[in-house]
Amino acid sequence: MTNFREILLLLERGGVQFVVIGGVAATVHGASRLTRDIDVVYARDRENIRKLAAAFASRGPYLRGAPPGLPFRFDEKTIALGLNFTLTTDLGDVDLLGEIAGGGRFEDLLPHSVRVSIYSVSCLCVDLPTLIRSKRAAGRPKDLEAIAELEALLAERERENARGD
């Protein structure tokens, strides 16, 4: 079971720059689907990579789905040479993404993000239109299934804004 709050706190306390995307972002925007991991897009500058590596150093990060015993170190060099990491940790599953289809990098997502409180942690979360666009671009069956609900939520929000609610 993923401890979403502790992962968000780990990132926040570590000073990591990130934007929440994926299933947790969908839930923030009102979706009813459950998710088993947390997905974030992190800034790729040298300082943020250092902070990201330090934040997870004591959490046993390992490539999710990789055979046990495979040599893997989640450190600054690995992060700098890689881009997207699907990890399991002692806090649960986390996807640390340097870039996403339909949304781009951290810097690209900033203008399309809102500050929210998730599990009592203040952080950036991708806005609903960008979340829909990124799920459509990813094209995975589970993403395509979620789009109808997200579009309905967006349409309802737009109707409320038009009425002035």
Q: Which residue has the higher pLDDT, 164 or 16?
A: 16
Q: Would you state the pLDDT for residue 164?
A: 80
pLDDT, residue 82, reads 97
* Signed CA dihedral, 107, 113, 114, 116: sign only: negative
Q: What is the pLDDT of residue 44?
A: 98
Query: b/e map of 8-22 (b: 16 or more CB within 10 Å)?
Result: bbbbeebebbbbbbb
| pTM beyond cutoff 0.75 | yes
Note whether 79 and 49 are within 8 A (CB): yes
pLDDT over 90 at 108, yes or no? yes
Average pLDDT, the chain: 95
Mean pLDDT of 20-34: 95
Task: Return the pLDDT at 142.
Answer: 87
CB atoms within 10 A of CB 30: 14
- Per residue in 123-138, pLDDT (tens digit) is 999 999 999 999 999 9
CATH 3.30.460.40 correct for 4-163:
yes
Task: Give me the residue spans of the domains in the chain.
Answer: 4-163
pLDDT tier, 94 (very low <50, low <70, confident <90, very high otherwise): very high
What is the predicted pLDDT for the residue at 165?
67
Residue 34: predicted pLDDT: 87
Strands (E), the chain: 18-21, 37-42, 62-63, 84-89, 92-97, 113-118, 121-126
Measured distance CA(90)–CA(59) in Å, rounded = 5
Q: How confident is the model over 58-66, as a mean pLDDT?
A: 96
- pLDDT at res. 145: 86
Task: Tell me which of 24-28, 75-79, 140-144 is least confident.
Answer: 140-144
